[in-house]
């Protein structure tokens, strides 16, 4: 796990976008793993800017979202399919038929989850997966207690997550109780994982998953087993880390050839 502490979300957006740009230049047909929530927005803004400024080309790229609410009709503005389209894919030249989201409106959810896993495999797996983290340590919608080996499936949301996400809905009652999400085992197969966390509210979850034990109780802690996980934090999100100075020192002295 590489922990990089930066002054703010602008710098985080630039660094993550630079890694995605480098990937796309080397591999134009790369498969990107997309996340929703506020944390990845500076990355999407920077990618959109690089696309319109310098012609960063997404025309051959593929994208897979992490998760989706169950019970929202297709086209609902807060469905993750729509959020991903609004915040990112509509702002670059990716072919919308190459953008995939788990189908939370399917009649047969287990079958939809299986076919999502199949589509991921058929595309060759995710090259770079963007992640946020929930205040309870969830990634995707893998709440505490999720199997560390889980695959795409239906899950129930913890009340804390429903409350955290209520800001996107008319009120708490409108937040779905069920979701479909890539499993922790699915996410672990991405070749590079880039997790973004900003703000003091994330500091306890960051402390737990970076420096605590690997445990299903803190799902993001599974990333300690990932061979290429990059954790991008602002100062506030990093404020409870014991080894913050060591992470800063390591990043400052990192050989340039290593990249992210
Ligand atoms: C939702 C998403 C997660 C995201 C989390 C944190 O629960 N399913 O993928 O990481 O929110 O969101 P935010 O970045 O807005 O704090």
Q: What is the dihedral of CA 64, 68, 73, 75, to 10 degrees?
A: -40
Average pLDDT value for residue range 34-48: 97
Instruction: Measure 255 CA to ligand 1 centroid, in angstroms.
Output: 32
With left for phi above 0 and alpha for psi between -120 and 50, is residue 129 left, alpha or beta? Answer: beta
pLDDT tens string 2-27 = 999 999 999 999 999 999 999 999 99
User: Which positions are annotated as active-site residues?
Assistant: 67, 136, 138, 143
Q: Which domain holds residue 29?
A: 2-252
Residue 168 lies inside a defined structural domain of this protein = yes
> Ligand 1, closest atom to CA 196?
14
Ligand 1 neighbours by CB, cut-off 6 Å: 35-39, 66-67, 132-134, 140-141, 161, 165
Residue in 256, 189, 254 with CA at minimum distance from that of residue 4: 254
pLDDT at 55 over 90: no
The span from the CA of 37 to the CA of 131, in Å, is 9
Instruction: Measure 39 CA to ligand 1 centroid, in angstroms.
Output: 7
pLDDT tens string 197-211 = 999 999 999 999 999
Average pLDDT value for residue range 205-222: 98
Residue 194 lies inside a defined structural domain of this protein = yes
pLDDT tens string 148-191 = 999 999 999 999 999 999 999 999 999 999 999 999 999 999 99
Q: Which pLDDT value is given to residue 60?
A: 98
pLDDT tens string 222-255 = 999 999 999 999 999 999 999 999 999 999 999 9
Average pLDDT value for residue range 70-76: 94
Residue 222 lies inside a defined structural domain of this protein = yes
256 vs 226, higher pLDDT: 226
Residue % of the chain over a pLDDT of 70: 100
Residue 71 lies inside a defined structural domain of this protein = yes
Average per-residue pLDDT for the chain: 97
Instruction: Measure 260 CA to ligand 1 centroid, in angstroms.
Output: 23
Residue 258 lies inside a defined structural domain of this protein = no
Tokens standing for 64?
């897979």
Residue 259 lies inside a defined structural domain of this protein = no
pLDDT at 259 over 90: no
Q: How many domains does the structure of the chain reveal? A: 1
Residue 260 lies inside a defined structural domain of this protein = no
- What CATH number is given to the structural domain containing 239? 3.40.50.1360
């Amino acid at each position: 796990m590489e922990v990089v502490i930066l002054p703010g979300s602008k710098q985080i957006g630039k660094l993550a976008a630079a890694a995605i740009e480098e990937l796309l230049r080397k591999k134009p047909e790369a498969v990107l793993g997309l996340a929703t929530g506020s944390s990845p927005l500076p990355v999407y803004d920077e990618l959109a800017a690089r696309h319109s400024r310098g012609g960063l080309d997404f025309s051959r790229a593929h994208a897979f979202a992490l998760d989706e609410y169950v019970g929202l009709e297709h086209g609902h503005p807060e469905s993750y399919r729509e959020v991903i389209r609004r915040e990112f894919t509509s702002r670059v030249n990716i072919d919308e038929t190459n953008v995939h989201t788990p189908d939370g409106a399917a009649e047969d959810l287990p079958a939809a989850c299986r076919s999502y896993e199949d589509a991921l495999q058929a595309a060759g797996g995710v090259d770079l997966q963007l992640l946020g983290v929930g205040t309870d340590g969830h990634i995707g919608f893998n709440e505490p207690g999720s199997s560390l080996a889980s695959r795409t499936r239906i899950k129930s949301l913890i009340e804390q997550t429903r409350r955290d996400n209520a800001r996107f809905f008319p009120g708490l009652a409108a937040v779905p109780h069920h979701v479909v999400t890539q499993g922790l085992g699915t996410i672990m197969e991405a070749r590079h994982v880039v997790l973004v966390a900003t703000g003091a509210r994330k500091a306890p979850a960051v402390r737990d998953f970076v420096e605590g034990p690997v445990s299903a109780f803190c799902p993001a802690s599974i990333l300690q087993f990932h061979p290429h996980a990059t954790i991008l934090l602002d100062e506030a999100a990093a404020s409870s880390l014991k080894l913050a100075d060591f992470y800063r020192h390591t990043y400052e002295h990192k050989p340039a050839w290593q990249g992210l």
